[in-house]
Structure formats: structure tokens, C-alpha cells
Amino acid sequence: MNEYSFMSSIWKRKEAVISTRDKNNDKYHRILEAAVRVFAEQGFYQSTVSQIAREAGVADGTIYLYFKNKDDILVQFFSYKAKQVFDLFREEVSKADNAVEKLRNLIRRHLDEFQRDKNMAIVYQAETHQNSRSAEPQIREMSKMYLDIVSEIVEQGQADGSMRKDLYLSLVKRFIVGAVDETINNWLHAGGKYDLVSMADPLIDLFVRGIGNTQ
């Protein structure tokens, strides 16, 4: 049995005993948060389990009580954040009555969450733009969830007349997602030196009114 097979067999046994309670404890989340700080500072591929353990204040071996390897930490971080963040997105959207305000709430909450957790923003943007193979299914699912929310809002806007009906939905939602993504990237490249959330209203104005002069 080679080292990979040996570690795989150990992990399979451990998976059977790691309960939901274990994954809700402080140490599990401390490792996740430490990992994202290390990934943000070092880059995922340059980071090591030892660095993550040191940042979390635990022994290297403790990492393997909760995670298979470094890739699994990234996967579980995205899975954890996806549920946490998208629950907040849905909650914020539900507070508005009309489509434009729902879109405004979504964009504002999106920018606010990324501004409050800059490390998450760095890791998410890096992994989505690098087509990470480690967390590809999670990233693809997060992208689909976000596009679904945007689609629902635009469809409501087209139905109630606040948004043009002659536009292709697939084009509109990718235009919105792409603009938000680029806004976050610009903020990160600027070192987060300005208020990211202040970009929400200008984005909504661009989405709803466009750049053409209709007068």
C-alpha cells in the first residue's frame, strides 16, 4: 500500500466518526478561517497545511481530524460560505417589494459581505478566475445559485414592466454578474482603499438606465 492509499483509508475511517457536531465546533471553524487568511496572503498553491495549523494555533495532525488535505479545506470553506452568504442574499432580497429594489439589495449585500471579509473576497475571486480544480463543483454551484437569484429578479422586473422585455435574460444576468465581479476586482486591486458598498447605487443606475442618452 502506497502513502496515498494509506492516507485515503485512514480518512475513510475518520469520515465515519466525524459528526455534524464536530463540524460545528470552534476548532473546525477556526481552522477554516485560518486557512482562508493563509490562502489570501500566500495564494492557495503556495500555502501549506503547516502554515494553516500555525495560523489556527493547532498541531498539524489536528487538521487531519477534520479535513482530508489542503484541497478539502478549500472545498469545505466554499461549501460553508455558500450556505451562509446565500442565505443572507435571499433574506435581503425578500425585504424588497419590486424588482429594482431587490436587485439593489442583492448587490449592496454582495458588496458588503465581500468588504467585511476581504480574505474571503481575495480567495473567491482568485479561485473563480483561475478555474480552480479543487473547488470547481462548489464554485460552479455558487455561480448557479447567484445567477438563479438574478434571473428571478430580472424576470419579475420584465413581468411588472420595470425592466425591458426585449432583452435576452441570459445576456442580462451575465452583464450584471460580470459588472459586479469586475467592481470587486477593481476594489481588491486598489487595496480596498475605498468603500466598496458605495458602488452599489451607481451599478444599479447603470443596470436600469444603461449608458444611452434617450432624451
Q: Which pLDDT score, from 0 to 100, does residue 13 have? A: 43
Mean pLDDT along residues 26-45 = 93
Please write the tens of the pLDDT for every residue from 152-171.
999 999 999 999 989 899 99
Q: Which pLDDT score, from 0 to 100, does residue 23 have? A: 60
Instruction: Parse the chain into domains and list their residue ranges.
Output: 17-67, 72-209
pLDDT band at 10 (very low <50, low <70, confident <90, very high): very low
Mean pLDDT along residues 182-201 = 96
Which CATH architecture fits 17-67?
A: Orthogonal Bundle (1.10)
Mean pLDDT along residues 164-183 = 93
Are 173 and 152 spatial neighbours (Cβ–Cβ below 8 Å)?
no
- Can you give the three-state secondary structure of the chain, one letter per residue? CCHHHHHHHHHHHHHHHCCHHHHCCHHHHHHHHHHHHHHHHHCCCCCCHHHHHHHHCCCHHHHHHHCCCHHHHHHHHHHHHHHHHHHHHHHHHHCCCCHHHHHHHHHHHHHHHHHHCHHHHHHHHHHHHCCCCCCHHHHHHHHHHHHHHHHHHHHHHHHHCCCCCCCCHHHHHHHHHHHHHHHHHHHHHCCCCCCHHHHHHHHHHHHHHCCCCCC
> Minimum mean pLDDT among 24-38, 129-143, 170-184: which range?
129-143
For residue 39, pLDDT beyond 90: yes
**Residue, of 26 and 178, whose pLDDT is higher:** 178
pLDDT band at 210 (very low <50, low <70, confident <90, very high): confident
State the average pLDDT for the chain: 86
Q: Which pLDDT score, from 0 to 100, does residue 52 have? A: 97
Mean pLDDT along residues 191-207 = 95
Class of domain 72-209: mainly alpha
For residue 14, pLDDT beyond 80: no
**Residue, of 213 and 120, whose pLDDT is higher:** 120
pLDDT band at 132 (very low <50, low <70, confident <90, very high): low
Q: Which pLDDT score, from 0 to 100, does residue 17 have? A: 40
Name the pTM for this structure.
0.82
Q: Which pLDDT score, from 0 to 100, does residue 143 have? A: 86
